[in-house]
Structure 1
Amino acid sequence: MVNVSAREYVLDFVSALTSVRQSMVTSYPALRTLSDMIPLVRRGGMDRRGISRDGVGYAVHGIGCRMADQRGREVDVDFLPDGSEVFDDWRVIRFIESLDDGLDISREDVLSSCRELVRGGVLREVRTGWFSAVVLR
């Protein structure tokens, strides 16, 4: 049985990712997807660090981006070559820590929850230990 709190936090992470994605794409017309940030920053068309007009802070790193919404929730993702946003258990733990609610959720519980959500069709495990939200169209 998976820790229900861990499952809820993974779902909260995915929800926060959806929210910051929308804020960034709305604030920066050159972005169709979050992954467009990497080439845009490399070409000098966007600062490596900044704050969207909606108040989402961002910092582009290597092959990904760490963002914090107006409530301080930290969402960090890497981008695959196809533009998919991916995360691992460590990134979800960082998200949980940014909530500062005093709960201690283990990485093992987060990983188990992610795999349960894969079985439920909410996430995909794109490679061992790395997950992406299933986008319903």
Structure 2
Amino acid sequence: MERVGAARDLVLGYVHALNAIDEAVRVVLPSLERLADVLGLARSHRISRSGHIGAYSYMIHGAGCRFVSDNGTEVDVDFAADGGDVFEGSRAVTGCLTSKAHLAGEDGCHRLSARCCPAACTPVVY
């Protein structure tokens, strides 16, 4: 049961962090309809492939973007063809975030990942 609670906290922490990024980016770029639109802005050279948006640094990669907040929280997200966020749970769990203590950053680990990994499990698009 403890592992279920830790997994739940991990997913909720990821969603909370991604929502915070979405809100912060929309303050700076209010014309965005969805966070995935940063890819189009970078591809059309309206923003650079890396830089700062509000309190976050970002780096566009392939089908996604890595955001890092001023406090060091890192969220790496891929986007589906329809612009939905792709969350790959096994990648996040196999990373350094495996407990509530890690999620809270008590050991200095702030990495939340949503990038797909090979054949581990099916990505969930929400």
TM band (smaller chain): 0.7 to 0.9
CA deviation after TM superposition for structure 1 residue 33, in Å: 1.0
2:84 is aligned to: 84
Where do residues 4-43 of structure 1 align in structure 2 (5 Å cutoff)? 4-43=5-44
1:56 is aligned to: 56
- Give the total of aligned pairs: 109
Task: Kindly report the root-mean-square deviation, in angstroms, between the aligned alpha carbons of the 2 structures.
Answer: 2.6
Q: Structure 2: how far apart are the matches of 1:24 and 1:51? A: 10
Q: Which runs of 4+ in 1 moved over 6 A?
A: none
Give structure 2 stretches of 5+ with no counterpart.
109-120
Q: TM-score, normalised by structure 1?
A: 0.67
CA deviation after TM superposition for structure 1 residue 35, in Å: 0.9
- Is the alpha carbon distance of 1:30 and 1:47 closer, same or farther for their aligned partners in structure 2, counting shifts above 3 Å? farther
Q: TM-score, normalised by structure 2?
A: 0.72
Q: Structure 2: how far apart are the matches of 1:92 and 1:73? A: 16
Report if aligned partners of 2:10, 2:103 keep a CA contact under 8 Å in 1: no
Report if aligned partners of 1:64, 1:77 keep a CA contact under 8 Å in 2: yes
1:71 is aligned to: 71
Determine what percentage of the aligned residue pairs are the same residue.
31
1:83 is aligned with what amino acid?
G
Say which structure is richer in helix. 1
Give structure 1 stretches of 5+ with no counterpart.
104-127
